[in-house]
Amino acid sequence: MQEFDFVIRDEIGIHARPAGLLAREASAMSSVVTVECNGKKAEAKKLFDVLELGVKCGDSVKVTTEGEEEKSDAKKLRRFFEETF
């Protein structure tokens, strides 16, 4: 299992468009990807689960990858978060 924390800098937070991009990015990975914020967890491959987290600007999220490619998937996701959020 690999994990990293990230503070959301996007002023709107994780809304529909970037949540869709995250779900697409995670769906392309073999790892199970979860996002946790404010005590709630969501499977990143499920758009509506990610939206239900209600992540706002300044919130810290924990991203976890589990699977055969967890290290490389975590690295890709960290870069994705840095570029998107």
How many Cβ atoms from other residues are within 10 Å of residue 71's Cβ? 12
Q: Would you mind telling me the total number of residues written for the chain in this entry?
A: 85
Known active-site residue 15: yes
User: Which of 9, 15, 41, 62 is an active site residue?
Assistant: 15
Please give the backbone phi and psi of residue 29, each rounded to the nearest 5 degrees, phi first.
-105, 150
Give the residue numbers annotated as catalytic, written as ranges.
Answer: 15
